[in-house]
Amino acid sequence: MDQSSAAPQADANGASLAKSLVILYASQTGNAEFIARHINTEAVERGYSSNVFVCDDYGKVDFSLPSIVVIVASTTGDGDPPDNSTKFWRFIRREKPDKTPLAGKRYAVLGLGDTNYSQFANASKRFDKQLQNLGAVCFHRGFADDATGLEAVVDPWIAKLWDLLPDLLELSDKVRAAKFKAASKSAISSLRGTVNGKSTAADETTKQPPAAEVPSTTATKPVITTSDSVSTVKVTSETLWSPAPLELDLSVLSSLHTLSNVTKLPVTSLKISATGVRHPPRSLWDLCGVPSGAPPVSDPFSFSPARPYPAVVTARRTLTKTSAISRVIELTLSIATLGWKYRPGDAVGALAPNPTPLVDGLLAKLGLDGDGEISVEGEAAAGLSVGSLLPPLMTWRELFTWGPDLLAAPKKGLLRVLAESCSDPGEKREALFLCSKEGASSYRALPALQPTLLDLLCRFPSAQPEPFRLLGQLPHLVPRFYSVASFHPNGTEVKIAFGVVEYELRGSKRKGLATGFLEEATNGQGAESAIVIPVFPRPSNSFVAPDPSVPVLMVSAGTGITPFISFVEERTLVPEKSRGTGWLVYGCRWREVDDLYADTRQRSLAGGVLTRTDVVYSRETQEGSGSIVKYVQHLLRREGMDVWKFVVGGGTVCICGDLHTMAKEVHAALVDIALQYATEGELKGGMDGQPELIDASPNASRNGSIAGQQVAGSEGEAGSGPVGDIKVGGTSPEAKKALVEQFWKDLTVKGRYLKDIWL
């Protein structure tokens, strides 16, 4: 019978089933997109009509049709929605419950977040709440925590989705559905599938037993190492990005006879075929169709990760001395034809390719002709690069240079692909172990070793995976963002600064993907030919400089000072009578080595743009006993009374820095300050008027630098501080703490407590 002429299917209550599945994703780094695309692939395999879209392509979806909507959304920054979902958010906020086709729509939501941040999975929760406000009905929701492992929630959530859909969604292809009888696969690591050590086809039709027999081998190595296979791969540098040994404890494997809950071989719709043509690699500008000398444009936001703007590097300077632990480089970029009137707090997105030595080694290991042209097809092809940067026809080298993230933490699906292609039983055994329930702890230890795809392939030298299967398990490269470190009303140029990341990993020299690229790409700045780097504008949604008339306290460490330089430069252009108080607190290691933008601070202080600066040097010689003013959080506690006067006087507090080593401790210091100095009335409201700062004249104790000074009355280790006499009476310590935390949350909502933090 023709499917279209069949009677509508109905659920248990007699209601008509939806006819299609619409999957929307909001993704900043590629995780949510990866999961969404794999849900879509499996939905099609299960016989459902399914399509996947980025949230901002909601206009391609007819929500008036009978469909089930699945939303997979990550959160970026401290609670911000991903860049590719802002239009969708505005759309659902504009809709009215009595007029929207979303009313009554059944949907599921999977949120990805990190509980290290204060607003966990905030973007997905906002989508969920607004859809409910419009009358949509959520039948399945879950929120996964990257701090403990996304798979702990994602896998069961997807498994439950397949259990729920038969009562909500009709099949569009019953023949295909009949073929699909294997247990649920996961976008990250299926904990339901099993294997028996034999070759497992992607379209297998029989359910596997609850445990898998471990392939026999004469010996099981207790530690993973690549030392025996490193020499088989040639790279262009002796040690830069050469394969690094992987050491994991596999001792338990020798006592196992079966493995349970082994990840199933993932399905992919990706198709790659050789065209028979060879040509040398093209420039990024040729790949994405943007001329390297871009003419003026009317819309600066037409540039994106898929279509970057060619910014010319007009100046480069090193902000640190040669003895610094990390070099910090400032670049000046010409954006005259971009027409972007950026604001302090905005950022520049920069694209960076995979390192050439790593790509060379990978091509050699896989036996691929780097200059051989290939055709890439299938729904999954859109996920190979951010925003579909790559064209349908490209070379292998172009694909591995600008497509997948070769440094991404390995997913279990990738390890399962490697296991399937291993011809050596011992290697297959170890790879399957890492995909199993029994090998969960060893798998969780892998990300800390930072293995590249080449490291993994060298660990399993007998593996000969098909490239399309590998690519189907790799997220795409994602842009890096750098706060603007300048302010120009006409928007003709912008400055960014970054610390170059360099490290040695078990004998292999490595660099940060983006910072290494930016440093090497601009090494010849000042030569005859212009140096051009791919960038795009990224306006800030939440970390926006307050109006120059508003008092502002800026707290930063290291390169976290860069956005505050733009804050200060904007205030320089404002008449003194219209300028609010400016207080900058900054921390670095050494006064003479890595004190960034010291000249700008001193100039701004002398000119009255800043009314107070405090700098603390963590590595300077420190004398005396007791608690030391070593980091910015210590300084804030020492100056707690001034900080609190500033806050209750109407000031805005801005923090920029690393989450684990700075931002968490600064927030804890602010909480302690409020506990020590706040009255109940101040916490519950009454924060009007101007800040009551003490004398801000430049003197040694107030506007100077601090090295090794004691915090009056404090005890304990770094990060702890005095709470003192609680001014909020009549409540328990727990209730007081909750009141203070709510106070800072309220200030965040009011735009008076802003954080730009990163992991």
Residue with tokens 């954006």: 335
What is the maximum span of the chain, computed from C-alpha positions, in angstroms?
89
8 Å CB contact between 310 and 285: yes
Residue with tokens 């070099």: 327
Helix (H, G, I), strand (E, B) or coil at 330: strand
8 Å CB contact between 754 and 560: no
Helix (H, G, I), strand (E, B) or coil at 617: strand
Fold of domain 552-758: Rossmann fold (3.40.50)
E strand or H helix at 23: strand 20-26
Nearest to 182, CA basis, from 214, 205, 164: 205
CA distance linking residue 550 with residue 578, whole number of Å: 9
Q: What pLDDT is recorded for position 204?
A: 29
Q: Count each helix (H run) and each strand (E run) in the chain, helices first.
A: 21, 24
Total residues found in the chain within this entry: 759
CA distance linking residue 677 with residue 631, whole number of Å: 21
In CATH, what number does 3-179 get?
3.40.50.360
E strand or H helix at 36: helix 31-45
Q: Where are the domains of the chain?
A: 3-179, 552-758
Give the C-alpha distances (Å, rounded to integers) separating 402 from 55, 305, 406, 462.
23, 11, 10, 27
CA distance linking residue 495 with residue 497, whole number of Å: 7
Paired with 755 in beta bridges are: 655
φ/ψ region of 558 (left if φ > 0, alpha if ψ in -120 to 50, else beta) reads left
> In 492-562, at which residue ranges do the beta strands (DSSP E only) sit?
493-499, 502-505, 508-511, 532-538, 552-557
CA distance linking residue 261 with residue 264, whole number of Å: 9
CA distance linking residue 150 with residue 148, whole number of Å: 7
Cα atoms in the 13 Å half-sphere on the side-chain side of 171: 14
Give the C-alpha distances (Å, rounded to integers) separating 432 from 38, 50, 114, 256, 659.
21, 31, 28, 12, 35
CA distance linking residue 232 with residue 235, whole number of Å: 10
Give the helix ranges, DSSP H, for 96-196: 122-133, 151-164, 174-179
With helix as H, strand as E and coil as C, how does 422-463 read?
ECCHHHHHHHHHHCCCCCHHHHHHCHHHCCCHHHHHHHCCCE
CA distance linking residue 538 with residue 59, whole number of Å: 22
Residue with tokens 């407590």: 753
Question: What amino acid occupies position 545?
Answer: A
CA distance linking residue 212 with residue 198, whole number of Å: 10
Q: What is the DSSP letter of 240?
A: B
Helix (H, G, I), strand (E, B) or coil at 656: strand
Phi, psi angle pair for 314, to nearest 5°: -100, -20
Cα atoms in the 13 Å half-sphere on the side-chain side of 188: 23
8 Å CB contact between 403 and 390: yes
Burial class (CB in 10 A: 0-12, 13-18, 19+), 306: middle
CA distance linking residue 461 with residue 458, whole number of Å: 5
Nearest to 419, CA basis, from 262, 242, 270, 271: 262
Residue 13 tokens, joined: 């209550």
Q: What pLDDT is recorded for position 432?
A: 95
CA distance linking residue 572 with residue 521, whole number of Å: 33
Paired with 473 in beta bridges are: none
Check for a shared fold between 3-179 and 552-758: yes
φ/ψ region of 626 (left if φ > 0, alpha if ψ in -120 to 50, else beta) reads left
E strand or H helix at 393: strand 393-395
Q: pLDDT tens digits for 118-176?
A: 788 999 999 999 999 999 999 999 999 987 778 889 988 998 999 999 999 998 887 77
Residue with tokens 């943007």: 290
Q: What pLDDT is recorded for position 647?
A: 95
CA distance linking residue 282 with residue 694, whole number of Å: 60
Cα atoms in the 13 Å half-sphere on the side-chain side of 584: 30
CA distance linking residue 442 with residue 451, whole number of Å: 14
Prediction pTM value: 0.80
Nearest to 579, CA basis, from 552, 606, 612, 542: 552
CA distance linking residue 635 with residue 637, whole number of Å: 5
Phi, psi angle pair for 676, to nearest 5°: -80, -40
Paired with 80 in beta bridges are: 76
Residue 543 tokens, joined: 């970390």
For CA atoms 360, 362, 365, 368, the dihedral sign is negative
With helix as H, strand as E and coil as C, how does 47-86 read?
CCCEEEEEHHHHHHCCCCCCEEEEEEECCECCCECCHHHH
8 Å CB contact between 604 and 527: no
CA distance linking residue 440 with residue 367, whole number of Å: 31
Residue 203 tokens, joined: 């379209």
The segments of the chain whose pLDDT lies below 50 read 1-8, 10, 12-14, 182-237, 623-625, 686-726
Helix (H, G, I), strand (E, B) or coil at 562: helix
Cα atoms in the 13 Å half-sphere on the side-chain side of 660: 4
Q: Cβ–Cβ contacts within 10 Å for residue 677, how many?
A: 20
Nearest to 485, CA basis, from 387, 348, 349: 348
Burial class (CB in 10 A: 0-12, 13-18, 19+), 137: exposed
Residues 6+ apart with CB under 8 A from 685: none
Nearest to 396, CA basis, from 475, 477, 467, 305: 467
